Each structure stands twice: as structure tokens, then as C-alpha cells.
Amino acid sequence: MFEGVFPALITPFQRNHGRNLDLDGLRSNIAHLVAAGVHGVVPCGSTGESATLSFAEHEQVVEVTIDEAGGKVPVLAGTGSNNTSEALRFTRAAKDAGADGVLVISPYYNKPNRSGLVKHYTALADCDIPVVVYNVPGRTGQNVTPDVIAELAKHPNIVGVKEASGDVGQISSIIELTKDEDFSVISGDDNLTLPILALGGKGVISVAANLYPKPMIEMYDAVQNGDYQTARDIHYTYSLLFRSMFIESNPIPVKKAAELLGMAAGPLRLPLDEASEQTTAKLKEVLSRYD
């Protein structure tokens, strides 16, 4: 259901005391990405600083994204939280707003046991909207193992996983265990997108695609056409960019890079702070290679 290149949208803020939402800037960024040919967009994920948004802001960002996408591409809205009741609120709001699906990070901090994790995702899937599990142990402190993903994949509304464990062996196991289900394994790491696609993954939820969507689309298309040499060439051309997006915590580098490229970005909200001078200089050097 969710295949191809899906930028994990940044959330632009205004440079004022309240660091209010820059909704016009958000619309501009989305319009640019849709025109470039992305296969979908993801608002309110980690890259969108969802943890700093109020309930009202979170829902507003999702609503504006759906409106700007205008049915041209699917919207996979981030609706995760560290507790099930909040995740249910976000998920129901996204469904009511017309989202095509929801991306749900595993509950961070709590470290739920297996049965709790299964019940958490089942409750959200029972809202009757497609659910993509988001596994990112580096942020949550807990890995969602292949056997749990395989069990969740049997639910008709749990349609995929964004895999950001960094463990290619684990990702291969998930693809193997879910091959008989209508289920997509999606890369959550730009640098691993090519190997994940080669293993049978269906796409990427991408940070770098905010900045350069067309090469990411071309790499995906090359794999679909069996042209792995072209895909490798693109991968290695942009691998420096991929790495640079994590020289500080995401989304610090991508927001600074977006600003340097003239996109709507603005400041970050605490506890994230502006990119350091060293990071800014490095990003300028990296971006100059793609002018």
C-alpha cells in the first residue's frame, strides 16, 4: 500500500518568540515535493519534531498536509506516542482528517512487554485505518523483533513497518517472515535504502528527500527496473549527504540544510537547539557538491 519515496516532512517554525507553526512554509515545501514526484509524504514524524507539538498543532499539521497534498499523493501521518490513549487520539484525528494511513512509533520510555506491544498496535489498527509500525530502537530504547512484526502483520490493518534498527539481518528476516502477507518493509534510513530495496523492501521514509527528492526517486525507480548499477551510482553520489543528515540529532542538520537551500524551515524547538557553527560549515560544504 505504501511504496516508493516518502519524505519525512520537517515542520517549519517561525523565527519569533513562540516559534509558531509556519503553515505557509509547510504548504510550500509539500507542493515542491509533490511536483518533484514523491510517492507520498509523512507529517509529524521524528523529523517533524512531533514530540514538541501540542495536540492542536499536531492535528493542524496533519490537516494542512492532507489539504496541500490534495489527493495527489498519500499522506502517512505520524500518530505515535509513549502511551496508547494519546496514540489513539492522534490516530482517530488523522483518520477523521482523511489521512491514508498512520505511522506509529513503538512506545518510547515505557519498554512494553510483548503482549503490551501487540495490544498497543492492535488497538490502533482496530481504528480501521492502515497502520505502519515504526521501529527505531535508538530513539525508543526497545527493538521490535521480527517475530513480533510477523505477528502484527497478520492484522489486516497493519500494512507495513518503517525499519530503522540499522540491522540488515533483522530487516531481511522481517521480509522473509512477512512475504506471504500484504505487508511493506520500508527503509527508515537513507543510507540503507538501496540494500533494503535489494532485499525486497518497498521504499523509504526519507530525511534526505526533503532536500533532493528526485535522486531518491531515480534510485528507487532504478531498482524497480532492475538497473542496480544506476541505483548504486546514485547511492554513492548521495551517501555523503545521507551521512551528513546525522552529524547532529535529526532533524537539526536537515532543517539547517533546508534553510540553506531556501526552503521553509526556521528554528527548532527545545530541547533541540540550532546547528553548531561546525555543523553549518560542514553542511554548506556537502550541499555545494550537489549544486
| Residues designated as active site | 134, 162
Amino acid at 230: T
Q: Is 230 annotated as a binding residue?
A: no
Vertex 22 angle, CA 17 and 28, to 5°? 155
> Which position has the grid cell 532533524?
251
**How many CB atoms are located within 10 Å of the residue 249 CB?**
13
Facing residues of 134 across strands?
105, 162
Facing residues of 5 across strands?
204
CA 108, CA 111: separation in Å to the nearest integer? 6
**How many CB atoms are located within 10 Å of the residue 16 CB?**
10
Q: Is 174 annotated as a binding residue?
A: no
CA 195, CA 171: separation in Å to the nearest integer? 10
Q: Which three cell numbers stand for residue 121?
A: 498496535
The binding site for pyruvate comprises 47, 205
Binding site members: 47, 205
